[in-house]
Amino acid sequence: MKYHLILLTAIILLGFLLRFVAVSNNPPGLYIDEASIGYNAYTILTTGKDEYGKSYPLWFQSFGDYKMPVYIYSVSAAMSFLGKTEFAIRFPSVLTGTLTILVFYLFLQKILSIETDKKIREKLKYLPLLASFLLAISSWHIHFSRGGFEITEGTLFFLLGCYLYILFVEGKKLPFTIMSIFFFILAIYTYHTFRILSPLALFYIIYDQKIYKNSKSLSLILGTIILLLPIMLFSLSSNGSERFFATSAFSQIATTNLWQKLTLYPLIYINNYLSFFSFDFLFNFGDGIGRHQIPNFGELYRWQVPFFLAGIYFLLKQKKSKIKHATFLLFLSIPIAGALVVPSPHALRSLPLVIPCIITVAIGILYIIQNLHRFRTILIAIIGIIAIYEFSFYLHFYYIHYPKVNQLDWGAGYKQLVLTTAQQKTYKHIVIDNTLELLKFAPVYFHFYEPSLNITMISPSWKKPKSWGNDSILYIRPYYGQKQNENLIKNIYLTNPNNDIFAQLWNGK
């Protein structure tokens, strides 16, 4: 037992370091949602209101949608002792990403403890430690744990709900059910994906335990409905459904009648759903979004392919198994939400899918090692060498190349732009040219880094107001190919390989 505890502690420490080291600077900059979360969290902390003046809102208005509240309030709490910093915005994700490793271990340990097949329990006795280690070094989970992503916190709450439900199944103690339901609901108020996944989990609990037949448990159902009522009403409102209709997989297809919808929509959904299990998504290229992974890396490591397949084979062979039931239930249910919207597959929205994927890979490793007795030592050595090589390559690319190659994916340049602008003390007005849309998110970054600066976003047709007279104007614009001019004050450069110009400051006169 002490041996297990020492290993688990080392695994959690490793996972924390991989998520914590240099997290303020890499990812390279705050992406737009992080800046928005940070600004709202700070205004909540200092004034009790969001950026629109609403006191302690349950929903935070953002770009084209409304954000769930839990992560923003988590950041607000972090800022109370870390200050208004990039680290404070990412700290809740780092912390919950690390805690997920521990809860994952406890979840698997508890499933094995209630496993009725003794042979499976013996074969998989090292599963909790191995799977926790694989999650600790998972590029998929590390990546989202290092950014200010609400999904990381939501994944922890969802997994906690699953773990507490297993505790209830084992001991039949009502407090575990209450806590399980609470964490599933908390996940709903953390990220949009769980607006579908958590209700599915809650329906499963009610059906599996036949709570609806127990009159003593009706109060539990009533309490659940009351807690869900705000999100239900919000989802039915125009504000709550705005994001879904903007990203809906079905709104992208032009249909003229009901028959076309009935024939096309199921095909679109099935295609999106299956895309989350594609080889390219899981092992080759991920979803292709630069903010979601480093280039040419899948969500899982390539060395895990044979073990992933072996794990599926092992699980399919089992007739009645708790671990099989739990793994496939998670596998099949998690993409349900992501398949409704585009793009699909989407690494961010499907982050909880890392849980069954890691379980499967870990089972595959144990299965292959246990069935190759003569070559066990050689096989472990080969696996270790390949895994260390690919993981080292990942770390090298993540820390050396990713901060330079993917700067624009993370809003790099905005911070320097704001701080440089703040140094220009002699200008009465600050105007920002948004012609190329490169600087369209500038207001959020100015709000976060220097809220005292008043800026005006302008279009090509903008004309200086007569009331400004001869006031001095600082003109900020994207780079249009002119590096030198008597009115040019300063170029803002990216630190990427090409040393590209992000923006320019001009004397607008």
pLDDT of res. 110: 94
CB-side exposure of 190: number of CA atoms within 13 Å? 27
CB 362 within 8 A of CB 125: no
Among the four given CATH numbers 2.40.50, 3.40.50, 3.40.190, 3.10.20, the one describing domain 413-507: 3.40.190
* % of the chain with per-residue pLDDT over 90: 56
DSSP strand pairing (60-61 vs 488-493) = unpaired
Q: pTM of the entire structure?
A: 0.94
pLDDT at 440 over 80: yes
pLDDT tens column, 179-202: 999 999 999 999 999 999 999 998
pLDDT tens column, 232-282: 888 888 777 777 766 776 776 666 677 767 778 888 889 999 999 999 999
pLDDT at 146 over 80: yes
pLDDT tens column, 272-328: 999 999 999 999 999 989 999 998 899 999 999 999 999 999 999 988 889 999 999
Contacts 24+ apart (CB under 8 A), 326-330: 326/111, 326/162, 327/356, 327/359, 327/360, 327/363, 328/356, 329/204, 330/162, 330/355, 330/356, 330/359
Mean pLDDT value of segment 123-152: 96
Domain ranges of the chain: 2-405, 413-507
pLDDT of res. 306: 93
Mean pLDDT value of segment 129-147: 97
